[in-house]
């Protein structure tokens, strides 16, 4: 048997032998090949890089959280003698059934720790469509079939959007969006976005229809409800005004009684932005969805398509409304644009602009002058325009014309669209967001503490 080299000189000789002798070189090559092969086999066995990352991360997390799991199990054992781990039947990848593990009794935050074992086993992934019960989403439809091509995840895109109040499309559609765009980097982004989503709290199933925030009665609708309402009223007899209210609007209404009066008189007041959601949470009156003009607009174009109801675009700089008309023609060619006009005209030209809207025969008027001017303008001139539904939409035309880019979806999902707006126009936006948002939340907390908030007690509006 060969003796191990003892002196540095012998070690050096051994190294040189390894480097330059024929058999030494082959020994090295084989060792390298074996090393690579072992890893590749392991990766292939695990089902790819995503699976390998899931496996390693789950192993690390299980080890790191062992003391917590041990404590939870010990406390549960001392409390009662029932099963410590709960098994819930789920439909996995390709609808393969599996049992999802969770603690039977533990604080909410730790209840899913045993699901790390599901990830280790390959039943689940960290990121993927929600693990549904068998039969909950049948794979008959194409969308649902697609969602089952991915392993269910602890965190899914739909869950994040629901928490940020922007889950406008159905769960299956959001799953398909995830599956089609799935990458390791994308998964990492979704996992990061889950952190603020945790802070926003659970999405709301049942809540009040009208929520009062700083004396503004908010119609607590989802995007779908609002669209149905608009399409219905576009064919109605009497004209209706819709206002979108965000934290900044609430601050303005606090200072300007005439703007508050406009909000009180509007037929529909919709909650816009993460500030309103947080206010609702603070008041214990959850806001169902973030129904803002910018997200509503493309859906409105789609809903009005084929109804014969035309849209008039009023506002923004010269040439901008025209580009929005082009956007509609490109994305919703069957939607009727009755006319457009920029928002920089003299007071003397106002009667002519109103006449133009009336002659256009439009049913829906979008006014982009910025709040509160747009809402007050609508209140004053709605009856003369001949339209059935009018709404103030702020900077919407700037976004759809491409003049100002909108925040990427991931920023909207973490409720940070305002941060992006600040980054675009810091000089104008710093006061609105950094001072305004803080003042707004402070007013909400103060109103809650004083008990001065008018409770709508689940009533209906006007």
Give residues in contact with ligand UDP (CB under 6 A). Answer: 315-317, 343-344, 368-371, 394-395, 397-398
Measured CA to CA in angstroms, residue 260 lies from 64, 286, 372, 456, 459 at distances of 54, 22, 9, 17, 20
Min separation Cβ 422 and ligand UDP, Å:
12
Indicate the residue among 115 and 368 with the shorter CB distance to ligand UDP. 368
Task: Return the residue nearest ligand UDP (CB atom).
Answer: 343
Min separation Cβ 185 and ligand UDP, Å:
32
Min separation Cβ 447 and ligand UDP, Å:
23
Indicate the residue among 323 and 448 with the shorter CB distance to ligand UDP. 323
Q: How far apart are CA 82 and CA 7, in angstroms?
A: 64
Q: How far apart are CA 37 and CA 35, in angstroms?
A: 5
Indicate the residue among 156 and 429 with the shorter CB distance to ligand UDP. 429
- DSSP output for 203-268: --SS--SEEEETTEEEE---HHHHHHHHHHHTTSSS-EEEEEE-HHHHHHHHH-HHHHHHHHH-SE
Q: How far apart are CA 236 and CA 260, in angstroms?
A: 26
Min separation Cβ 341 and ligand UDP, Å:
10
Min separation Cβ 421 and ligand UDP, Å:
8
Indicate the residue among 287 and 316 with the shorter CB distance to ligand UDP. 316
Indicate the residue among 410 and 422 with the shorter CB distance to ligand UDP. 422
Indicate the residue among 125 and 246 with the shorter CB distance to ligand UDP. 246
Angular region, 419: left φ>0, alpha ψ -120 to 50, beta rest: alpha
What dihedral do alpha carbons 90, 93, 95, 98 form, nearest 10°?
Answer: -30
Secondary element (H or E) of residue 312: strand 311-315
Min separation Cβ 360 and ligand UDP, Å:
18
Indicate the residue among 319 and 458 with the shorter CB distance to ligand UDP. 319
Indicate the residue among 150 and 260 with the shorter CB distance to ligand UDP. 260
Which residues does residue 319 pair with via DSSP β-bridges, in sequence order? none
Q: How far apart are CA 362 and CA 312, in angstroms?
A: 6
Min separation Cβ 392 and ligand UDP, Å:
7
Min separation Cβ 398 and ligand UDP, Å:
5
Contact 329, 400 (CB under 8 A): no
Indicate the residue among 127 and 245 with the shorter CB distance to ligand UDP. 245
Contact 111, 103 (CB under 8 A): yes
Min separation Cβ 371 and ligand UDP, Å:
4
Q: How far apart are CA 113 and CA 101, in angstroms?
A: 8
- DSSP output for 258-299: HHHHHHHH-SEEEE-SHHHHHHHHHTT--------HHHHHHH
The count of C-alpha atoms lying within 13 angstroms of the C-alpha of 113, restricted to the half-sphere facing its C-beta, is 25
CB atoms within 10 A of CB 125: 25
């Amino acid at each position: 048997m060969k003796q191990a080299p003892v002196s540095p000189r012998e070690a050096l000789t051994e190294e040189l032998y390894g480097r330059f002798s024929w058999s030494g070189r082959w020994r090295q090559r084989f060792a390298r090949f074996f090393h690579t092969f072992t890893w590749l086999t392991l990766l292939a066995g695990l089902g790819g890089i995503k699976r390998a990352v899931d496996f390693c991360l789950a192993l690390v997390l299980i080890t790191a959280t062992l003391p917590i799991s041990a404590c939870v199990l010990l406390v549960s054992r001392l409390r009662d003698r029932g099963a410590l781990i709960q098994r819930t039947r789920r439909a996995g990848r390709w609808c393969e059934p599996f049992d999802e593990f969770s603690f039977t009794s533990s604080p909410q935050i730790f209840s899913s720790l045993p699901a790390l074992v599901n990830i280790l086993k390959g039943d689940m992934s960290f990121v993927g469509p929600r693990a549904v019960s068998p039969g909950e989403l049948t794979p008959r439809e194409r969308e649902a079939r697609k969602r089952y091509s991915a392993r269910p995840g602890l965190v899914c895109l739909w869950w994040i959007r629901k928490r940020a109040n922007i889950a406008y499309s159905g769960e299956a559609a959001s799953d398909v969006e995830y599956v089609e765009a799935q990458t390791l980097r994308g998964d990492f982004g979704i996992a990061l976005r889950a952190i603020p989503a945790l802070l926003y709290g659970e999405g709301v199933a049942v809540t009040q229809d009208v929520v009062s925030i700083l004396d503004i009665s908010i119609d607590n609708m989802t995007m779908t409800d609002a669209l149905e309402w608009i399409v219905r009223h576009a064919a109605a007899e009497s004209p209706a005004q819709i206002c979108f209210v965000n934290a900044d609007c609430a601050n303005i209404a606090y200072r300007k009684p005439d703007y508050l009066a406009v909000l009180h008189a509007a037929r529909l007041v919709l909650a816009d932005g993460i500030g309103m959601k947080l206010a609702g949470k603070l008041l214990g009156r959850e806001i169902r969805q973030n129904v803002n003009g910018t997200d509503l607009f493309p859906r409105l174009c789609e809903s009005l398509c084929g109804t014969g109801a035309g849209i008039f675009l009023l506002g923004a700089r010269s040439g901008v409304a025209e580009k929005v008309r082009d956007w509609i023609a490109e994305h919703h060619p069957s939607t009727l644009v009755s006319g457009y006009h920029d928002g920089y005209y003299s007071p003397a030209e106002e009667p002519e602009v109103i006449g133009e809207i009336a002659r256009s025969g439009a049913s829906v008027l979008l006014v982009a002058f910025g709040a509160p001017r747009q809402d007050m303008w609508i209140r004053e001139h709605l009856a003369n325009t001949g339209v059935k539904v009018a709404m103030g939409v702020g900077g919407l035309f700037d976004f759809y014309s491409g003049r100002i880019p909108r925040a990427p979806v991931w920023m909207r999902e973490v409720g940070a669209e305002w941060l992006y707006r600040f980054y675009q126009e810091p000089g104008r936006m710093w006061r609105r967001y950094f001072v305004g948002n803080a003042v707004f939340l402070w007013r909400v907390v103060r109103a809650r503490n004083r008990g001065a908030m008018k409770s709508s007690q689940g009533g209906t509006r006007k």
